[in-house]
Amino acid sequence: MNLIIAANWKMHKTRAETADFCRALLGDLDYFEGVEVLICPPFTALSAAADHIGGSALKLGAQNMHWEQEGAFTGEIAGPMLMELGVEYVIIGHSERRHIMGEDNRQIRLKLEAALENGLKPILCVGETEAQREEGSTTGVIKDQLIAALEGLPPEKTGSLVVAYEPVWAIGTGKAARPEDADEACSLIRDVIGEILGSGPAEKVPIQYGGSVKEANIGSFVKLASIQGALVGGASLEADSFSALIRAARKAVQS
Ligand code: PGA
């Protein structure tokens, strides 16, 4: 399975900054052997990114979507609008949306279904807060999030699903999870997906780790058998740190 490394830019970068990033990254690394690389700019910069990555191996993702196809939903963006721009992936249920914007498991389920219906590849984010980890409910939280998102989906429709394990306390803090903790959580995620969708489909789901991933630590995550990529925030904002991280990931899996 190829690694999938996704840049989640959150609310960063204008169209001009996006164009500069794409030029710099593709000037440095125009082909990513063994690694699927994607950038998830804000909605306003998606078309600028699409213009600059056309014809390259770099893929495009969105950070969110609404579950309806169109309608009276002020400020929202629908699947067909993303497809028109050449978007291939969409992040669903990022912890900043769950915990800052108040998205709940029901909304995340609707978004996941809409992504699959529209032919977008969902990157479903799950993970516990620091308080939940301290009180020992990490396993229960992750299970609940996966069950709410996936239970009852026809397994044959989930072939493009990606899951990202993102412990909330590790996001943007510089304090990444210990590889052994990420390994335990990602193994649990695959087991739970197996219980929900069956072990055959579960084997095919790439599971990413996210939370303070950088060049110096990505190797310790992607060399684990339980992890097939990373969702990267801060370290994806500069083309040189992002390309260094991609190289480090490739080296770790090849060695
Ligand atoms: P971070 O963000 O790499 O800055 O911790 C990761 C994410 O939010 O996906």
How far is the centre of ligand 1, averaged over its atoms, from the C-alpha of 50 (Å)? Answer: 23
Q: What pLDDT does 255 receive? A: 80
Beta strand extents in the chain (DSSP E only) = 3-8, 35-40, 59-62, 89-92, 121-126, 162-165, 207-210, 229-232
pLDDT tens track for 39-72? 999 999 999 999 999 889 999 999 999 999 999 9
Q: Do 125 and 94 touch, CB atoms closer than 8 A?
A: yes
Q: How far is the CA of 107 from the centre of ligand 1 (A)?
A: 22
The lowest-confidence range among 96-100, 188-192, 251-255 is 251-255
Segment 140-190, tens digit of pLDDT: 999 999 999 999 999 999 999 999 999 999 999 999 999 999 999 999 999
Homologous superfamily (CATH) of 3-254 is Aldolase class I (3.20.20.70)
Q: How far is CA 220 from the centre of its chain?
A: 18
Please give the share of the chain, as a percent, with pLDDT higher than 70.
100
Q: Ligand 1: which residues within 6 Å by Cβ?
A: 8, 166, 171-172, 210-213, 231-235
Which of 6, 212, 18 has the alpha carbon at shortest distance from 124?
Answer: 6
Mutation to probe ligand 1, out of 11, 99, 212 (largest number of atoms < 8 A from CB): 212
pLDDT, position 144: 98
Rounded alpha-carbon distances, angstroms, from residue 208 to 77, 85, 90, 219: 25, 25, 14, 13
Mean pLDDT (the chain) is: 96
Helix, strand, coil share of the chain (percent; to 5): 50, 15, 35
CB 95 within 8 A of CB 64: no
Residue 31 predicted with pLDDT over 80: no
Catalytic center residues: 94, 166
Q: How far is the CA of 1 from the centre of ligand 1 (A)?
A: 23
Q: Where are the domains of the chain?
A: 3-254
